[in-house]
């Protein structure tokens, strides 16, 4: 699913509106006649753990641990207490499935930390063959999309399953396949691209080159071009140099007022200043695939990062569907349920498949 292939496909891009009018989700705030731009937050407001002056929002904030807690038993106790408010999706599986009775499940999956483990080298974040099989199997029964901060091409190379939809660059580069849609219109029987930030592409390339040059002297810094966003990884940087990385990124962004900075797990994300995120991408996919009927569709989104909170929040506000946070430590979140790691994600996907196979007549499975 490389760009030279994508160029031969229709592109869902309207200069005057970031969403095609025929599939504009009613609740989206950026459905006005022009792209909605938002004010850029300064680095000190978003670089959590780098400059040490951020006051995180409640949905993104990791709860503080009691200062008297200094042993593994305290961490276990804190995690167990957290499970009371964000229970395991595995232990709550029957409850989740009970909510899906009479509905069609639509599945949205983050990639890094969800389908693959977090690794030091982002280019080696490979998913296991077993996980790929689990995703392939679940996609046989449920419309499934990957929603990642990675470039769409890169996440496709990792997953390598054509039966899925892919939303890269935090949802700013979406490949739709009407094989997953209920549309019966022959003109729609092909992949389509939706890129609400296409006008920013030259600026992103320029910012990427500037960031590569600026961080060249920082050992371990890795600048990744994710097409419509740039990721500055500092996982392999000495902690004493984190502040330098943050300052260098901040200095570069002074020349790009239409780009903003957000954070992830040991990564600084540079993105266009538009009102678009993974939550908006999920709404767009549900509408585009004709899966936006709250009464008949149950969306499930599984992710591990603070950028996934935007999608969790959308499902909570819809009062339909569930966010599932992948985390081994307590975190305040908009998700309803939790899983500890990618292994449990695979177990949850396998459980969905077994449930569907048992519930579905044999003659339907053989079609």
Q: Are 267 and 231 spatial neighbours (Cβ–Cβ below 8 Å)?
A: yes
Chain position carrying tokens 């969306």: 299
Phi-psi region of 220 (alpha: psi -120 to 50; beta: other; left: phi over 0): left
Q: What amino acid positions are annotated as catalytic residues?
A: 110
Q: Are 309 and 61 spatial neighbours (Cβ–Cβ below 8 Å)?
A: no
Concatenating the DSSP letter of every residue in 89-150 gives: TTTTHHHHHHHTTTSEEEEEE--BTTTB---SSGGG-PPPHHHHHHHHHHHHHS-EEEE-SS
Q: Are 233 and 122 spatial neighbours (Cβ–Cβ below 8 Å)?
A: yes
| DSSP bridge partners of 167 | 147, 174
Q: Report the SS3 class of residue 261.
A: strand
| DSSP bridge partners of 232 | 223, 268
Q: Report the SS3 class of residue 5.
A: helix
Least Cα distance to 20 among 199, 174, 177 occurs for 174
Which DSSP helix (H) or strand (E) runs through 193? strand 192-194
Q: What is the DSSP letter of 331?
A: -
| DSSP bridge partners of 104 | 297
Q: Are 220 and 237 spatial neighbours (Cβ–Cβ below 8 Å)?
A: yes
């Amino acid at each position: 699913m490389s760009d030279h292939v994508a160029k031969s496909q229709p592109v869902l891009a309207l200069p005057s509106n970031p969403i095609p009018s025929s599939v504009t989700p009613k609740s989206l705030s950026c459905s006005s006649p022009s792209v909605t731009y938002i004010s850029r937050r300064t680095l000190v407001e978003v670089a959590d753990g780098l400059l040490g002056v951020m006051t995180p929002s409640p949905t993104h904030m990791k709860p503080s641990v009691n200062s008297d807690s200094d042993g593994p038993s305290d961490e276990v106790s804190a995690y167990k207490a957290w499970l009371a408010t964000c229970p395991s999706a595995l232990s709550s599986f029957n409850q989740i499935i009970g909510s899906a009775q009479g509905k069609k499940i639509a599945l949205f999956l983050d990639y890094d930390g969800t389908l693959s483990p977090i690794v030091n080298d982002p280019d080696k974040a490979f998913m296991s063959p077993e996980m790929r099989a689990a995703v392939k199997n679940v996609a046989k029964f449920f419309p499934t999309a990957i929603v990642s901060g990675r470039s769409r091409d890169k996440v496709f190379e990792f997953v390598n399953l054509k039966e899925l939809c892919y939303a890269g660059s935090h949802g700013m580069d979406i490949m739709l396949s009407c094989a997953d849609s209920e549309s019966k219109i022959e003109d729609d029987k092909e992949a389509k691209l939706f890129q609400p930030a296409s006008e920013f592409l030259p600026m992103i390339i320029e910012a990427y080159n500037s960031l590569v040059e600026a961080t060249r002297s920082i050992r371990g810094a890795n600048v990744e071009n994710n097409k419509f966003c740039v990721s500055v990884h500092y996982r392999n940087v000495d902690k004493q140099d984190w502040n330098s990385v943050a300052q260098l990124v901040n200095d570069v962004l002074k020349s790009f007022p239409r780009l903003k900075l957000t954070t992830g797990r040991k990564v600084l994300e540079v993105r266009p200043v538009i009102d678009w995120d993974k939550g908006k991408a999920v709404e767009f996919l549900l509408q585009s695939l004709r899966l936006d009927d709250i009464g008949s569709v149950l969306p499930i989104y599984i992710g591990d990062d603070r950028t996934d909170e935007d999608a969790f929040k959308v499902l909570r506000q819809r009062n339909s569907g569930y966010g599932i946070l992948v985390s081994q430590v307590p975190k305040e979140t908009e998700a309803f349920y939790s899983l500890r790691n990618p292994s449990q994600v695979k177990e949850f996907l396998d459980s969905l498949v077994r449930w569907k196979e048992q519930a579905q007549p044999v003659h339907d499975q053989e079609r």
